[in-house]
Structure formats: structure tokens, C-alpha cells
């Protein structure tokens, strides 16, 4: 388990549970690490990109995704299940008038299975504090200059709830296939620190 989560109550409980399982001889650290490796083996921003590309090409899927992402994910053989618990996913759509960005102000909660392991800056205290206070300045530091009239909404993830941004489909991509569209989507676009 990563040390950046140990300070949260849920993470501390999970670590105590892991220690009890090991002390009882039911599992050892190598088995726990192997389970984590199996989980992360399927974790990739490619998963989030597939979701975005489908939403860009299928209006009905987009509607279902925005209404209830957890119910829509199985259509792409994806889920938010992590062990015994299913985390709630809310997908928020960028528009010409609104830009969304995600953060976890307490630690670094993040939809790993859909976006891959989180970037180091996402876990940094500077990002976590500043993006809430001055999102426009932080986005500009990432190279994303938004017009003054674009409203920025910051979404704060938690241990139970995760967020993913549905970027605006780039102009001039009407003839691209779903696979080609997925290739345009970046992890930063899914977090909201970049446009696609």
C-alpha cells in the first residue's frame, strides 16, 4: 500500500486489515503485492480514452455515462470495482462554457483502473491545495489557457467517489474511428489539466 494514503482513516484501516491477514498466516506481503500487480496490470489511461471515444461517437452512451457512469461502464467491459467495494464514478463533461478539473484534497484518490497510476504532481500537496484556490493559474502552468468567460469547476474525489473528465471532442475529428479518437485522449485530458 502506498504511503501517501496511510494518513487517511480508510487507508489506515486497510493497512491494519492487511497486517491481521498476514499475522494470521492467511496471506503474506508477496501475495498482497501480486494482487495489487494484477489490479494495476489492467489499469491504463487507455480505458478512460475508450470511454471518451465511445461517448464522442454514441450520444445514447454519452447520456447513460453522464447519468450513471457505473451502470454504463460494463458496456465496455469496465467497472469501478476494487476488491469487494465498488467506488462511485461520476463523469463530468467539459463544454465551451465550463471546464472541469479533478483533485483529491485529502490524499490522492483517483480512478486508477480507468486512468492508470496517478501522476506524481496529482499527489503533490502543491497541486492539491492550489488547484482548489486558483484553478485558472494552475491550469495555465500546465499550458492550458482558458478564456476568462469559461467557468472552471473543481471536483474533489474521495475514498468512495471518483471523477473523470469527458473532454470536448476536438474540431475536425468527424471522420475518425472510435479507435483513432481514443488515441487523441490523454490522462491529463481525463483529469482536466489539458485539453484534447
Please tell me whether residue 102 adopts helix, strand or coil conformation: strand
CA torsion, points 23, 24, 27, 30, in degrees to nearest 10? 20
- List residues with catalytic annotation: 104, 107-109
Strand partners, 88: 161
β-pair type (161-166, 88-93): parallel
- C-alpha 17/C-alpha 11 separation (Å) is 10
Please tell me whether residue 164 adopts helix, strand or coil conformation: strand
- Cell 494495476: give the residue: 40
E strand or H helix at 2: none
Helices (H), 43-182: 45-57, 59-67, 69-72, 112-115, 120-123, 125-133, 135-141, 178-182
- Cell 492550458: give the residue: 144
Strand partners, 172: none
DSSP 8-state secondary structure symbol assigned to residue 75: G
- C-alpha 166/C-alpha 179 separation (Å) is 16
Amino acid at each position: 500500500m502506498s504511503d501517501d494514503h496511510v494518513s487517511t482513516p480508510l487507508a489506515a484501516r486497510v493497512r491494519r486489515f492487511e497486517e491481521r491477514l498476514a499475522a494470521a498466516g492467511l496471506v503474506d506481503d508477496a501475495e498482497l503485492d501480486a494482487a495489487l500487480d494484477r489490479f494495476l496490470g489492467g489499469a491504463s489511461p487507455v480505458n478512460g480514452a475508450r470511454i471518451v471515444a465511445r461517448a464522442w461517437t454514441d450520444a445514447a452512451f454519452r447520456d447513460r455515462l453522464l447519468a450513471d457512469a457505473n451502470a454504463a461502464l460494463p458496456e465496455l467491459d469496465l467497472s469501478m470495482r476494487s476488491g469487494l467495494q465498488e467506488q462511485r464514478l461520476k463523469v463530468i463533461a467539459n463544454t465551451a462554457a465550463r471546464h472541469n478539473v479533478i483533485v483529491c484534497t485529502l490524499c490522492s484518490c483517483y480512478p486508477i483502473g480507468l486512468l492508470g497510476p496517478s501522476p506524481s504532481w496529482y499527489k503533490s500537496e502543491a497541486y492539491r491545495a492550489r488547484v482548489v484556490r486558483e484553478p485558472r493559474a494552475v491550469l495555465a502552468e500546465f499550458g492550458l489557457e482558458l478564456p476568462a468567460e469559461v467557468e472552471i469547476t473543481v471536483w474533489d474525489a474521495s475514498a468512495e467517489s471518483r471523477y473523470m473528465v469527458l473532454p470536448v471532442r476536438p474540431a475536425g475529428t468527424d471522420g475518425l474511428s472510435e479507435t483513432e479518437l481514443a488515441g487523441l485522449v490523454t490522462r491529463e485530458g481525463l483529469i482536466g489539466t489539458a485539453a484534447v
